[in-house]
Amino acid sequence: MSSADLPVVPSVPGSVVAIAREQDREVRWLDQAAFVFPDDPGHELDYFEWDRTFGVRADDGELVGVNSTYSLRVVLPTGELGTGTVSRPMAGLSWVSVHPGYRRRGVLSAMMRHHLHEVHARGEEALSGLHASEASIYPRFGYGLATVGYAVSLGRGLTLRDAPAAPDDEGLRVRFATADVEAHGALVADLYTRSCARRPGMVDRTAALNRGRFRQTPRELEKEEPLRILVADREGRPTGYALVQRDMKWTDHAPDGTTRVLELAATDVVTERRLWQAVADFDLTSATIAYRVATDHPLLAWLPDARTIKPTRTDELFLRVVDLDRALTSRGYAIDVDVVLAVTDGLCPWNAGTWRLVGAADGATCERTNDAPDLTLDVRELGAALPGGASLAAAGAAGLVQEHTPGALARLSTAMRSAIEPATTYGF
Ligand SMILES: CC(=O)SCCNC(=O)CCNC(=O)[C@H](O)C(C)(C)COP(=O)(O)OP(=O)(O)OC[C@H]1O[C@@H](n2cnc3c(N)ncnc32)[C@H](O)[C@@H]1OP(=O)(O)O
């Protein structure tokens, strides 16, 4: 039986089917109905991978559920003491929508089971990742919260603490332009990918999604500023960029605009510092807001009083181990570890059971074993810990990991940690 033929749970009013590009109007209608937003004919789904788009059709043929998967990459820690990074394939689940008239009848559950079996059958990605609209939806399907971020609000103009290892660079120029996919698409794709390598948890995107970053429909352009870009370069060699949009308003006859930082990527810390100073210093603005800022981002260390930017914690990447052995061997470990794990997995039975993980800085092996387990835990905890932020020791302190061999939990927890906190600055 192929994964596409998997039976759906009995209560579901229909079955999981492939969705073709020609059915995009139905997909859009369903998405608008589920996510509550108006139709915008200019918004084309040209970044969809239609061979990875599935839905549930009710017995009368109506499309009552849809989801689409992107072929993404996620950055994981590796190397001695968790100081390196490695980029691995990740199935990025998105556009999950269920018809409001068919809620809570198992449509999502059927689609999730299909998605996980499909990714397993393809064998290309050992991981599935997503951003959740509501944080309580996906843990039941084995997803763990792997990265968190801060939403921040900066005042006009930044006074930053001196950073001897990130001095001002007179040779670094920052230029302002209207962002244009023809002029800047390749530059953004290249710099974004290079910036991803600087931090675990980062998600790299397809060429189509990179182009989508520049998309503004005619209807959107009637209401908002065209997307602008700041490009930093040294002697013509680009080292970073920021995509921004400003909203202008006047309060009591005084300018009171806001700059939104949609994406800021840099290949070195000097460029990063200069770009943050630039985005926070547009004329006629009084605030700059940014989302998905790493919880140990340099900004927090540079600002004399980080309290002023009102960091608000947001959940970002939920990660699901689809193939346990390939997932755990796709990264290196900060310290040597040799541990037997008893893993529970309600949806992917090929993961459940007892595994011996032997990890070192440059790689790992993970094989089935009959040895007695050192730790018992759910697959969800492993997904959360994989990019090196969520601490397994903390999960243990919360009663989510059972330790049978004293010291095994602390050792694995330390081995999985990254030297810096993971973050996911791109939402998909
Ligand atoms: C990756 C992404 O795209 S995130 C976007 C998700 N989509 C949205 O938020 C759009 C609006 N909402 C919807 O389309 C739907 O309500 C969905 C997709 C959230 C849920 O679809 P449904 O078909 O109703 O879910 P289903 O019936 O399979 O429910 C499975 C379980 O999840 C629970 N659940 C479903 N939605 C939610 C929710 N929003 N919050 C908490 N629990 C939920 C159900 O109660 C059920 O629990 P049970 O097994 O204990 O009974």
Reading the chain (428 residues) residue by residue, the pLDDT tens digits are: 333 444 444 467 788 999 999 999 999 999 999 999 999 989 999 999 999 999 999 988 999 999 999 999 999 999 999 999 999 999 999 999 999 999 999 999 999 999 999 999 999 999 999 999 999 999 999 999 999 999 999 999 999 999 999 999 999 999 999 999 999 999 999 999 999 999 999 999 999 999 999 999 999 999 999 999 999 999 999 999 999 999 999 999 999 999 999 999 999 999 999 999 999 999 999 999 999 999 999 999 999 999 999 999 999 999 999 999 999 999 999 999 999 999 999 999 999 999 999 999 999 999 999 999 999 999 999 999 999 999 999 999 999 999 999 999 999 999 999 999 999 999 99
Question: Which residue, by CA, sits nearest to atom 50 of ligand 1?
Answer: 140
Distance CA 419, CA 315 (A): 20
Would you state the pLDDT for residue 343? 98
Does domain 3-144 correspond to CATH entry 2.40.128.520?
no
- Asked if 381 contacts 395 with a C-beta cutoff of 8 angstroms, the reply is yes
Q: Which residues line ligand 1 (CB under 6 A)?
A: 34-35, 93-98, 103-109, 130, 132-134, 136-137, 140
Q: Where in the chain is the domain with CATH 3.40.630.30?
A: 3-144, 149-315
Q: Which long-range contacts (CB under 8 A, 24 or more apart) does 31-37 make?
A: 31/66, 31/95, 31/97, 33/97, 33/99, 33/100, 34/97, 34/98, 34/99, 34/100, 35/97, 35/133
Catalytic residue among 70, 141, 143, 428: 428
**3-class secondary structure, 33:** helix
User: If we measure between CA atoms, which residue out of 329, 343, 339, 333 comes closest to residue 371?
Assistant: 339
CATH architecture, domain defined by 149-315? 3-Layer(aba) Sandwich (3.40)
- Asked if 349 contacts 355 with a C-beta cutoff of 8 angstroms, the reply is no
Ligand 1 center to 31 CA (angstroms): 14
Q: Quick check: is 428 catalytic?
A: yes
Distance CA 375, CA 405 (A): 7
List all residues 6 or more positions away from 209 whose beta carbon is below 8 Å from its beta carbon. 47, 70, 72, 428
Pick the atom of ligand 1 nearest to 105's CA.
Answer: 27
Would you state the pLDDT for residue 59? 87
**ipTM metric:** 0.97
Ligand 1 center to 124 CA (angstroms): 27
- Asked if 54 contacts 111 with a C-beta cutoff of 8 angstroms, the reply is yes
Question: Which residue, by CA, sits nearest to atom 19 of ligand 1?
Answer: 137
Q: Which of 103, 116, 128, 347 to mutate to test the pocket of ligand 1 (most atoms within 8 A of CB)?
A: 103
Q: Quick check: is 102 catalytic?
A: no
Distance CA 113, CA 104 (A): 15
Question: Which residue, by CA, sits nearest to atom 6 of ligand 1?
Answer: 96
Amino acid at 249: K
Q: Which residues are annotated as a binding site for acetyl-CoA?
A: 96-98, 104-109, 133-134
**Which DSSP symbol is given to 226?**
P
Catalytic residue among 70, 138, 192, 241: 138
Model pTM score: 0.96
Pairing type for strands 257-266 and 285-293 reads parallel
Q: Kindly report the CATH class assigned to 319-416.
A: alpha beta
Q: Where in the chain is the domain with CATH 3.30.1050.10?
A: 319-416
Q: Which of 45, 52, 90, 98 to mutate to test the pocket of ligand 1 (most atoms within 8 A of CB)?
A: 98
